[in-house]
Amino acid sequence: MLDFVKGDSQAPTGNLIAFCQVIGKNPFETDGAIIAIHVVVSNISARENSFPVVVFPPVSLKNEQELSRVISFQGKCDVVRLEDFKIPSEQQEQEYMNDRLEQFNDLVRDYVDLYQRYHEKIAPKLSEEIKLLTGPTSTRSEEAQPTEGEQATLEKLQELLKTGAGPVDFTPVIRHIEKNFPQYDIQNFEKNIHQDQTEIASLYIKKFFAIHEERYEAAALFQARIMQMESARS
């Protein structure tokens, strides 16, 4: 059960801030009393009841006042409180981090499920309103043909990187992802391919697979590593 401190579980916005109090050691920033993560669910890119999710890297905030400022800046959003973050001991730190990773993945899945149910509830009404604006929908013959699956596309991307393919070889796959799987920031991957930054490109692929497999906190950790490496280069 998600502990909403702001927002309505019956009408989620798709814009979520999850936070927890830190007791003891903060692995992200020593003087941070709060860990917060921003999650965004897209209904625009939804396909066949699959709602793409972006999980931003966890951030450390100094106190509740700083958290309140962040929430106020977001405007319309949901805020969920997580159980306190407290590492039992140095020896148990990795096990504890893994447990919190699983808990966070469960939270994101629960939130996406709430959002999907809400979207299905209001979609018929929105559909009727859109018909008034756009007119009749296209016939079946006009609909786009099925495209290569998401898993197979990511595997193709991974194989090209492993075999040392050049930027031109990546282009058809990248354009396919841009068109059919907009939840992935493939433009940033493409930039690193053109700059011959294969290590960073490899991290992007790992992040894409984590998002695809709904391992959202893992995706956030890969993104944090990417940002660290790109910052070191600049």
Is 133 inside a domain boundary?
no
pLDDT band of residue 6 (cuts 50, 70, 90) is very high
User: Alpha-carbon distance 154 to 171, whole Å?
Assistant: 13
pLDDT at 140 over 60: no
Quote the distance between the C-alpha of residue 164 and its chain's center: 28
Q: Residues 151-210: pLDDT tens digits? A: 999 999 999 999 998 889 999 999 999 888 888 889 999 999 999 899 999 999 999 998
Same domain, 16 and 94: yes
Same domain, 7 and 106: yes
Q: Give CA angle at 213 (209, 216), nearest 5°.
A: 90
**What are the tokens at 43?**
């209904």
* Arithmetic mean of pLDDT over the chain: 83
Same domain, 12 and 121: yes
What's the confidence (pLDDT) of residue 43?
A: 73
- By percentage, how much of the chain surpasses pLDDT 70? 85
Q: Residue 61, class by beta-carbon neighbours within 10 Å (0-12 exposed, 13-18 middle, 19+ buried)?
A: buried
Q: Read off the pTM.
A: 0.58
Same domain, 23 and 96: yes
State the amino acid at position 55 in one-letter form. V
Is 140 inside a domain boundary?
no
Is 138 inside a domain boundary?
no
Is 132 inside a domain boundary?
no
Q: How many residues does the chain have?
A: 234
Q: Residues 51-84: pLDDT tens digits? A: 788 888 888 999 999 999 989 888 789 999 999 9
Domain range for 203 is 150-233
Sole residue written with tokens 């890969």: 222
pLDDT band of residue 234 (cuts 50, 70, 90) is low
pLDDT at 149 over 90: no
Same domain, 34 and 100: yes
Q: Which of 110, 126, 142 is the last residue of a domain?
A: 126
